Amino acid sequence: MITILNDDFSQLNSFLHGKSFSKIFILVDENTHEYCLPVLLGNMETDLGFEILEVEAGEEMKNIQTANQLWEILTEMQADRKALVINLGGGVITDMGGFVASTYKRGVHFINIPTTLLSMCDASIGGKTGIDLMHYKNMVGTFAFPEQIFIYPKFLETLPFKELRSGFAEMLKHGLIADKSHWESLIQIHKLDVETIIPHIHTSMDIKQDVVEKDFHERNIRKTLNFGHTIGHSVESLCLSQGNPILHGEAVAMGMICEAHLAYLEDLISKQDAETVIENIQRYYPYLDISDFTDEAITALLLNDKKNTDSKINFSLLSAIGACTYDHQCTQKNILESLNFYRKLNNA
């Protein structure tokens, strides 16, 4: 299902020729329109007609209003159930494009061509689609696999450094929850750039894909992929609600620091392991100021997390470097202590 594209895009063209699609719709934002779409169109060989659907870039556009506009455009252009939607972009495009395609006329074909490190290693893989509801992350969505995922690593050369660093957080997470050797290889990288990251991408993709294949609907082990996301998503949502969105990986890095300390407080990992995790994440990610967010505001969002049951917050927490538990319910005292621990890092 995941294919690494060669420069001639022959595998993508073989896929297009081998299917009986009626029309192609390519979803982009203004960034991928400028930097990635010319590469795709210059290498895509098909006799099918195609239309370009462009949305504004940014997490704040991943909402029901944008989805509704896309449904209306597909309807106006008479897209039928044999249409193909190509999601060419980062996590916002693959999340939202998959959601629109999987719900339009109860589902049309779609493929993902991720253009960011985060979407290559994480967002485009696993069949989760979604949009945000108000400022709550991914509250509305579907489980729907794309027909195929095509990875073109050279798209990473179009990214600013902050986007590369954002995706690297998910790679670190994959190592921490499932593969200690992957984690240890990643923390040997002293300078984050395309050249140093590309050799490790396939391992991260394999980890994500393996977990998803074991538990597609997130009833057990797939929950481990949420390490760092419970607190991270809350902070990301609060930033979004204030009109000051941050990159997903920045929030996840902050969340992993808090949740590594929380795992120590819950006696799941040693203090030494917690410090190892935290100190290495700090090497790559600057401190994220959460001084404006009260414990009550963060806790309110934690209580709305999708993994929760019976109004109890379920965390995915490390049990070792390279292993993770799920459905762990922590004491309120320890949750707040983990937040205070992070706040104090700014003065350390």
Task: For residue 165, indicate whether it is catalytic.
Answer: no
SS3 23: coil
Annotated catalytic residue within 182, 233, 261, 328: 233
Annotated catalytic residue within 31, 112, 226, 314: 226
How would you classify residue 185: left for phi > 0, otherwise alpha for psi between -120 and 50, otherwise beta?
A: alpha
Cβ count within 10 A of residue 230: 25
CA 205 centroid distance within chain: 12
Task: For residue 180, indicate whether it is catalytic.
Answer: no
Task: For residue 202, indicate whether it is catalytic.
Answer: no
Query: How far is it, in rounded angstroms, from Cα 314 to Cα 226?
Result: 10
Beta strands in 126-264 (DSSP E): 128-133, 136-143, 149-151
Whether 224 contacts 326, CB under 8 Å: yes
The set of residues, in sequence order, having a beta carbon less than 8 Å from that of 195 and lying 6+ positions away, is: none
Task: For residue 229, indicate whether it is catalytic.
Answer: yes
Task: For residue 248, indicate whether it is catalytic.
Answer: yes
Q: Angle between the 295-302 and 332-345 helix axes, to the nearest 10 degrees?
A: 130
**Residue 291, burial from CB neighbour count under 10 angstroms (0-12, 13-18, 19+):** exposed
Q: Is the dihedral of CA 34, 39, 42, 44 positive or negative?
A: negative
Task: For residue 154, indicate whether it is catalytic.
Answer: no
- Comparing CA positions, the residue from 59, 61, 62, 169 lying closest to residue 121 is 169
Annotated catalytic residue within 174, 222, 223, 261: 222
CA 312 centroid distance within chain: 24
Annotated catalytic residue within 76, 106, 190, 296: 106
Task: For residue 218, indicate whether it is catalytic.
Answer: yes
Q: Is the dihedral of CA 128, 131, 135, 139 positive or negative?
A: negative
Annotated catalytic residue within 163, 170, 250, 266: 170
Task: For residue 208, indicate whether it is catalytic.
Answer: yes
Query: How far is it, in rounded angstroms, from Cα 75 to Cα 347?
Result: 55
Task: For residue 106, indicate whether it is catalytic.
Answer: yes
Residues acting as catalytic residues: 106, 128, 170, 208, 218, 222, 226, 229, 233, 248
